[in-house]
Amino acid sequence: MSQEFFIFVVMVGVFAAGTFALKWPVAVSMLLASVAGALAGGFGVPIRHLVEGTFGYVDTILTIATAMIFMNAFKDSGGLEALSAATIRRFHKIPGLLLVLLTFVVMFPGMITGSSSASVLTAGAVVAPMFAALGIPGVEAAALIAMAGILGMIAPPVNIPAMIIGGGIDMPYVGFEIPLLLLTVPLAVFSAFYFGYRFVKKTDISAVVRTLDTKTLDQYGGFRLFSPVLIVLILMVLDKALPKIFNLGMPLIFVLSTIPAYFTGKRFNILNSAKTAIEQALPVLGILVGVGMFIQIMTLTGVRGFIVVNALSVPPALLYLAIAISIPLFGAVSSFGASSVLGVPFLLALLGRDQIITAASLSLIAALGDFMPPTALSAIFAAQVVGLDGYGKTLKKLVIPSLILIVWALVFIIFSKQIRTLY
């Protein structure tokens, strides 16, 4: 057994013991796994490296924090609830389309924040009662919300795993929008039909519409309620189209869009709303800090290089199998960690493919890490917002769609050059 492999086993072992056996927070387990790895590598307790590692995702932390504050303000203003109500009222005669559009509503916060937890905890919580009213049982509703959460996390404009993978080979996060839409939209449509259509078609949706609470929507009007989202979209477009004039950055865009949310709908305590948002986001922010430390120590001890070399030397026939198995499994640590530690070497091993489509596809597979116990953020939170006791049944429901997701992503990698010619 090489020393690097031994250190890797120690790190994973301490992490697994901390999260599974001792039920510590994932972030704390990662910190201790990093310390254990450094000790096993003969580096003592390298405080400088541990602190250095925490800086790996500071900008991402700031983006997620401000995006969560925006989403919570939008939710507290009644905007999110009104968006779901408006969707049901407008499309209730076409149940299939209604279901797909509600799935897109759940995806929306993840698209903006790059976090599946943001989707599940904000839009998922709002849409969950509507799924129940449409006749979808709790387990299926939780599975659909969890799947929409990870698809929202991967859909453009913000895809953090793709940014991490691209960053590993100095590839800018440019030109990802179309591949990410091609990857996520069909899966979202499939998931909506797979989990919900057989229940929704049996439900009398006219009765649901009659009992729908549209008070906020009627009082303030759709345009006024949804204007904070329009401001986010406009500022994002301007930021990309005119970078020399605007160049605001995502955190400032979310802050600028949060302020109007206070005036466009129901009044709410903006400080309490922001605090709740931070409390909801904190487990994810902690994981990002922990992943940063974990990866820093893996780099320091040579474990990262060991993984890269092994990934590059995988025979071509086994490469896709290795991608399909190892990336989601490493997601038990974190989907962001899987993107960094495994996504980058696999992208290097696939240099002959179209790099943007390949990185986008690898990010989609990495997102499955949010279903992988013990972290399983998306599945845990989805089960919570629906009101289920545990998330085991939700995970079982997600197995087949997850396999389809992996196959879909691998098809995109294999035919990346042909897909590139389509747009």
Structure tokens at 239: 């930021």
Minimum CB–partner distance for residue 29 and other proteins (Å): 10
CA dist 286 to 37, 171, 307, Å?
Answer: 19, 26, 24
| List of E strands, 256-306 | none
CB atoms within 10 A of CB 93: 10
Q: Between 50 and 141, name the residue whose CB sits nearer to other proteins.
A: 50
242 touching other proteins, by CB under 8 A: no
Least distance (Å) between residue 223 CB and other proteins: 28
Q: How far is the CB of 28 from other proteins (least distance, A)?
A: 5
Report, in Å, the least distance between residue 228 CB and other proteins.
Answer: 17
If the CB atoms of residues 289 and 383 are measured against other proteins, the closer one turns out to be 289
Segment 96 to 125, residues that bind other proteins, using CB under 8 A: none
Rg (CA), the chain: 21
Q: Which of 274, 291, 338, 349 binds other proteins (CB under 8 A)?
A: 274
The answer for residues whose C-beta is within 8 angstroms of residue 396's C-beta and 6 or more apart is none
Q: Which of residues 393-422 bind other proteins (CB under 8 A)?
A: none
In Å, what is the CA distance from 283 to each residue of 54, 95, 148, 249, 419? 14, 36, 20, 23, 37
Minimum distance, C-beta of residue 211 to other proteins, in the bound complex (Å): 36
To other proteins, the closest distance from the beta carbon of 57 in angstroms equals 8
Q: Is there binding between residue 209 and other proteins (CB under 8 A)? A: no
d(CA 302, CA 304): 5
If 0-12 CB within 10 Å is exposed, 13-18 middle and 19+ buried, where does residue 389 land? exposed
Residue (249 or 302) nearer to other proteins, CB: 249
CB-nearer residue toward other proteins: 3 or 54: 54
17 binds other proteins (CB under 8 A): no
Q: Quick one: which H or E segment has residue 240? A: helix 222-241
Q: Residue 269 in contact with residue 82, Cβ under 8 Å?
A: no
**How many CA atoms does the CB half-sphere of 287 hold within 13 Å?**
23
- Residues 49-68 interacting with other proteins (rule: CB under 8 A): 51-52, 54-55, 58, 61-62, 65-66
Closest CA to 246 of 261, 232, 236: 236
Nearer to other proteins, 209 or 255 (CB): 255
Q: How many residues bind other proteins (CB under 8 A)?
A: 31
Give 3-state DSSP helix, strand, coil % of the chain, rounded to 5: 80, 0, 20
What minimum distance in Å lies between the beta carbon of 48 and other proteins?
10
Instruction: Report the residue number, 52 or 177, with the smaller CB distance to other proteins.
Output: 52
Q: How is residue 20 written in tokens? A: 């599974």
Residue 74, amino acid = F
Our finding on whether 180 is near other proteins (CB under 8 A) is no
CA 351 to chain CA mean position, Å: 26
Q: Which of the residues 23 through 52 are near other proteins (CB under 8 A)?
A: 24-25, 27-28, 31, 51-52
Instruction: Select from 16, 17, 181, 282 the one that contacts other proteins (CB under 8 A).
Output: 282
CB of 32 to other proteins, least distance (A): 11
- Give Cα 306 distance to the centre of its chain: 28
**Shortest distance (Å) from residue 126 CB to other proteins:** 22
Which residues of the chain form contacts with other proteins (CB under 8 A)? Answer: 24-25, 27-28, 31, 51-52, 54-55, 58, 61-62, 65-66, 69, 247, 249, 251-252, 255, 274-275, 278-279, 282-283, 285-286, 289-290, 292
